[in-house]
Structure 1
Amino acid sequence: MALDRVLDMKSPADVTTALDETGYLPDRGIATAAFLAMRMGRPLLCEGEPGTGKTALARSLAQALDVPLIRLQCHEGIDAAQALYDWDFPRQLLHLRTLEAVTQGELDVERTESSLYTGRFLLDRPLLRALRETPCVLLVDEIDRADDEFEAFLLEVLSEYSVSIPEYGTVRAAEPPLVVLTSNRTREVHDALKRRCLYHWLEHPDLPREVEILRRRLPGLEEELAQQVAGAVQRMRGLELLKPPGVAEALDWAQALQALECTQLDGETAADTLGAVLKYREDAERVAAAGVLVP
């Protein structure tokens, strides 16, 4: 990572200030976890409900450190090739045909093979990019969606910050990237990976902090409307919903109300715009029945 920027951050308070300047509003726990991850050179595993700001934290850290953000989005079935590298087969084939034309088919097999597996034909996927393009922030998003084998592979990469490519050689990071892993806890991340990381659980923000986030991210949002939206979202989270709304949904809802030029939240407008904050019919019905849209 940008070592001079890291050294400038001498305490969690400095991290709070740096993140605050990017528009991210951390609490003390988040700032402390991020500070320790940078100073100790350890990956930071952030778990929590969707919409608690895990991904946004990685983006803001990259912005605060003035380094690229490289994102690896995990999904079911992801494998090492998708995360690490691939070879540009069409370009390799074109190169081979060019050599055949120049040598009239009299190719030196060993020299030809070595010319096909060079950096010009190597396609960097996120993990390899992070090793080759440090300093950077590497975001491994939703690691809980990957399977056990990929998790074990990732642990190996994060242990040494290097990978061995059989046809190419070993690639080692000049300096370790700042790694942020996120998990929505759809399954438990294995203890071996957790031991490699610092750990932080992110909660939904309390009411005053959520109001401040809304007003900071949406300039021009009236204080009263921000209070009403945040309050309604907080009350929704107290219900047993299939997908409780996160900060992102609260922002979407407030932005929708701004687009309608609303200055305050009433029951009719809240019901009309509920699709901005709730994504399941059952949740909308439960919220409507509970009468929590307006106090």
Structure 2
Amino acid sequence: MTATQLPASIDDTLALLDGQGYVGDRSLATVLFLALKLGRPLFLEGEAGVGKTEIAKVLASALGRDLIRLQCYEGLDVSSAVYEWNYAAQMVEIRVSEAAGDTDHADLSKSIFAERFLIKRPVLQALEPSLSGPPVFLIDELDRADEAFEAFLLEVLSDYQVTIPELGTIRAQEPPIVIITTNRTREIHDALKRRCLYHWVDYPDAARELAIVERKVPGAGERLAREVVAFVQALRADETLFKQPGVAETLDWATALTELNEIALDPDMVSDTLGVLLKYQDDIERVRGSEARRIVDDIRRENDREKAEAAGATPW
């Protein structure tokens, strides 16, 4: 993987995202450019499925850097996130030393806690030098981790170092490019946020979501793509839904309908494929049937009105 230079301007950052197929807006490009320019972690918050994780993937690919991902979850600890010792290999080393008559405990202790027995997890990997340059370090869904682990990250994000009692402090020669994402299932402590630049990743408007569908699902016809986006936008306006569909679900649904050779939304097909778009049974039951038909009819009427206005006719 060949590393490329960091973007020199906001426009270059927009072009970098666009070159990787990511349809971003200028506000995102601005904060991303500043994070790269200032060497600060970027804290991305937003609903699930709006493209936060994809930003880190796109950045790593565009810059030719390694992507190191730490997927957070409840109970995540240092041994899973930072390092642990290869206990099996250490036991073999002890047995071999004992069989050879080497019983000097000081030498044996130094031997078994050598770096060759260290299993490096994502945090430690992100601090290591790389020929392609500092990696992109994605700390994904931090809100799923416990507050104790969040507190541990303060040392990493402040000084880009970790301390291993048996080896000492390991410090990055060059700080990694850090992207932190959260779905806001809980609040992240201010002490960590202060170390980052912040950006809220919102659902895209209709025009940008249509551009995303056209880019990511090129097999979808123009009419199908527009109606899919209009349907999803209508669902997001429904505050009674437990979970509104994200961009990921929009793309999945457009892909599914394309595979079914649909050229436009059909109310019956919409009801049959809602499991691709919505992930909770109560939401599916609310939309299935008459509600799906109503939304499709509204989309068709709006399309007819726009066509009539474009043709100079008086809409009825």
Could you say which TM-score interval applies, normalised by the shorter chain?
over 0.9
Give the C-alpha shift of residue 219 in structure 1: 2.2
Counterpart of 2:10 (choices 9, 12, 19) is 12
Asked whether the 8 Å contact 2:129–2:174 carries over to 1, the reply is no
Give the C-alpha shift of residue 86 in structure 1: 0.5
Query: What is the percentage of aligned positions where both structures have the same residue?
Result: 51
2:108 aligned residue = 112
Q: What whole-Å deviation, never above 9, does each CA across 1:240-295 have from its counterpart, x for those lacking one? A: 21111000001110111111111111101111111101011111122235345412
Give the C-alpha shift of residue 155 in structure 1: 1.3
1:66 aligns with 2:67: no
Give the C-alpha shift of residue 81 in structure 1: 2.2
1:97 aligns with 2:98: no
The Cα RMSD (Å) is 1.5
1:41 aligns with 2:39: yes
Matches within 5 A, 1:121-200: 121-134=117-130, 135-200=134-199
1:264 aligned residue = 264
Separation in structure 2 between the aligned mates of residue 180 and residue 272 of structure 1, nearest angstrom: 38
1:212 aligns with 2:211: yes
Secondary structure at 2:194 match in 1: helix
Separation in structure 2 between the aligned mates of residue 155 and residue 241 of structure 1, nearest angstrom: 37
The structure whose Rg is larger is: 2
Asked whether the 8 Å contact 1:74–1:143 carries over to 2, the reply is yes
Give the C-alpha shift of residue 168 in structure 1: 1.4
Separation in structure 2 between the aligned mates of residue 128 and residue 202 of structure 1, nearest angstrom: 28
Separation in structure 2 between the aligned mates of residue 263 and residue 115 of structure 1, nearest angstrom: 67
What is the identity, as a one-letter code, of the residue corresponding to 1:274?
L
Secondary structure at 1:196 match in 2: coil
Q: What whole-Å deviation, never above 9, does each CA across 1:120-160 have from its counterpart, x for those lacking one? A: 11111110110114510011111111222111111111100
Q: What whole-Å deviation, never above 9, does each CA across 1:68-87 have from its counterpart, x for those lacking one? A: 11111111121222211001
Asked whether the 8 Å contact 1:207–1:231 carries over to 2, the reply is yes
Asked whether the 8 Å contact 1:47–1:182 carries over to 2, the reply is yes
Secondary structure at 1:179 match in 2: strand
Residues 193/158 of structure 1: CA separation in 2 closer, same or farther (3 Å cut): same
Secondary structure at 2:253 match in 1: helix
Asked whether the 8 Å contact 1:287–1:293 carries over to 2, the reply is no
TM-score (norm 1): 0.95
Residues 4/218 of structure 1: CA separation in 2 closer, same or farther (3 Å cut): closer
Gaps of at least 5 residues in structure 1 are: none
Asked whether the 8 Å contact 2:68–2:137 carries over to 1, the reply is yes
1:255 aligned residue = 255
Secondary structure at 2:179 match in 1: strand
Gaps of at least 5 residues in structure 2 are: 300-316
Asked whether the 8 Å contact 1:214–1:226 carries over to 2, the reply is yes
How many residues end up aligned between the 2 structures?
A: 290
Give the C-alpha shift of residue 3 in structure 1: 8.0
Separation in structure 2 between the aligned mates of residue 187 and residue 10 of structure 1, nearest angstrom: 35
TM-score (norm 2): 0.88
